[in-house]
Structure 1
Amino acid sequence: MFGERAEVDATVLGDGDPDLAVVGGIHGDEPSGVRAIRHVLDTEPDLERAVKFVVANPPAGVAHRRYLDVDMNRVFPGDPDSPDRERRLAAQLADEIGGSIVLSLHSTHSSTNPIAFVSGKHPDAQAVAARLPVEHVVNHDPVVDGAFTSCKRVVSVEVGRQLTDAATTNATKLVRSFLRMTDALPDEPTTGSPDFHTLTGSVEKPADAEDPQLLVDNFREVSEGTTYATTSDAEFVADDSFYPILMSETGYDHIFGYRGRRAGDSLQEARAAWGTPLAGDE
């Protein structure tokens, strides 16, 4: 249907040149962000500043697949001349957003509650994430290469469990909170008081694991020596303490998810831990 001419789908609401953007559908099997965007567009909000709404990977969405050629959320800033659709789409998306402040919407197998992800290099994105109605903000720079958050001023949020109505509801609420906190919509936004973490590595899972069972909760510290997961023929014991992040039985083929460490209870503490540059020094 899309062939070699796959393009991102962008719509602008409001007057002027947009410097805000909401992005959904980087992964085609995570429809909650796209549904939230469509819901907001259908309500035709009277925006007080221009906002660009972008469906990032229409071909994968139509196919109901995470990606068609390569994982789009691992190849930013992309390549407009690549034979891979997602690399070309990543380049288009980076060009579409320019220097905008961006809310990017994803979903997960691991949590019903929204979780924000940022780069430790970009203070503007961190400031937005710290005000969103989320419980946790995570810097994934040490582990994840080529994510959309590597572009300046991008906050990615896992809005809830994949393919659930609750995730779409959460995504819609987050979009409206984002638009309110950036003065695109009137009224006070719903804000949060998150804690802050840093990804430090992945938690491996055998590819042929049978009946995997996760025995710990995300964002609750696992002590050294604790059995954190089992399969039909193995137990997995922590070599040292860590915080589980995005861990689940079925979310990934070869890992349970990720391990992390706590970076602080405030944005100031997190920035000190992450070595974030001062605003304007990006």
Structure 2
Amino acid sequence: MFDQDIAPDVVEFGPGDADLAVVCNMHGDEPTGARAIQRILKPSPEFERAVKFIVANPPASILHRRFLDVDMNRVFPGDPKANDRERRLAAQLVAETADCDTISFHTTHATPEPVAFVSEGKPRALEIVSQLPIAYVINETPVVDGAFSSTGPVVSIETGKVQQPNSVAKAEMLIQAFLNNEGAVSEEPPMHAPVTNYFEIFDKIEKPPGDETYELLARNFERVEEGEAYAKSEEGFLLADESFVPVLMSQSGYGEIFGFRGRKVGESAEDAKEAWLDEEK
């Protein structure tokens, strides 16, 4: 059905060469970002800077599947000659956004509130996200390999829970904030961040093998102390062997893990810079 010529779908608005990008549908079963982009573009806004709007994985989106061959958000920077379609698409997306400040949209099973992911060593991504109205920003570099955020000034945003209508409204609000803050449109005043908490993840939280009776007790972004139960099942309680902050924990979001163990690094972009942009890293 799809041959070697598949490519991300790109439309561009505004004068000059685009140096801003909004990406959606990296996972084909997450249409929230695409629906938010449609809302943004429907009134035909006048763009003062050129912006690319990109559907990252068109074939998976047509079939409403997360991916066709491999998870696209785990194979960056991709490979233009790969047999796996997502690896080819990843390489094309990197080329398409090479000169752009970029935000990319996803949805989650874990939390109804928007959560942003960046990679350490990317100061521009940290600057972009610090100006968005997002309460939680996470450095995913220590645990996640091959993420889109590792490729440049990219902020990946989980806008809320899968298939919840308000996730589209939140994505629309964040796209509008990004475009306003970067001077691409000026129909609304710039939107600034509330108090933002910065975290980094340091480990995965494994599910008990062969046990489907578990119930999560921990809440995302609420600290779990050493020895405290974070889940239970018919087999007993799962106790923390060290203190951690749960990040994107859910019962059904991932196959073999609940989510991630994290630690808080601060409440300002300066705290995050000190933690993530150290020259020794």
Bin for the TM-score computed over the shorter chain: over 0.9
TM-fit CA distance, 1:195: 0.9
For structure 1, the 5+ residue unaligned runs are 278-282
Task: Give the TM-score of the pair, scaled to structure 1.
Answer: 0.95
Equivalent pairs, count: 278
Shift of 1:244: 0.2
Q: Which residue of 1 aligns with 2:200?
A: 198
Aligned to 1:133: 133
The alignment partner of 1:206 has SS state of coil
Q: Is the 8 A contact 2:123 2:277 kept in 1?
A: no
Q: Equivalent residue for 2:254?
A: 252
1:207 to partner: Cα distance: 4.5
Where 2:106 maps in the other structure, the secondary structure is: strand
Segment drifting more, 78-87 vs 29-38: 29-38
CA distance in structure 1 between the partners assigned to 2:80 and 2:41 by the alignment: 28
The alpha-carbon deviation at position 21 of structure 1 amounts to: 0.3
Paired AA for residue 5 in structure 2: R
Alpha carbons 1:245, 1:258 under 8 Å: kept: yes
Could you tell me how far 1:276 is from its partner in structure 2?
4.5
**Partner SS, residue 89 of structure 2:** helix
Query: Does the C-alpha gap of structure 1 residues 252 and 174 become closer, same or farther in structure 2, counting only changes over 3 Å?
Result: same
Q: 1:231 to 1:189 in 2, by over 3 A?
A: farther
For 1:201 and 1:54, the matched residues in 2 are separated by 31
CA distance in 1, matches of 2:34, 2:209: 31
Residue 232 of structure 1 and its aligned partner are, at CA, apart by: 2.9
> RMSD value over aligned CA atoms?
1.4
Aligned to 1:270: 272
- Residue type matched to 1:14 in 2? G
Aligned equivalent of 1:56: 56
Partner of 1:280: none
2:244–2:262: 8 Å Cα contact kept in structure 1? yes
TM superposition score normalised by structure 2: 0.96
CA distance in 2, matches of 1:237, 1:166: 34
Q: Is the Cα contact below 8 Å between 1:60 and 1:68 reproduced in 2?
A: yes
Name the amino acid aligned to 1:105: F
Residue 225 of structure 1 is matched in structure 2 by: 227
Structure 2 unaligned residues grouped into runs of 5+: none
Corresponding residue number in structure 2 for 1:189: 190
Spell out the pairing of 1:81-120 with structure 2 (5 A cutoff): 81-120=81-120
In the other structure, the counterpart of 2:237 is 235
Identical columns (%)? 47
Secondary structure of 1:4's counterpart equals coil
Task: State the 1:3 CA deviation.
Answer: 3.5
1:39 maps to: 39
Which consecutive aligned stretches of 4+ in structure 1 deviate over 4 angstroms post-superposition? none
Moved more, 139-148 or 28-37: 28-37
Given residue 263 of structure 1, which amino acid in structure 2 is its aligned partner? V
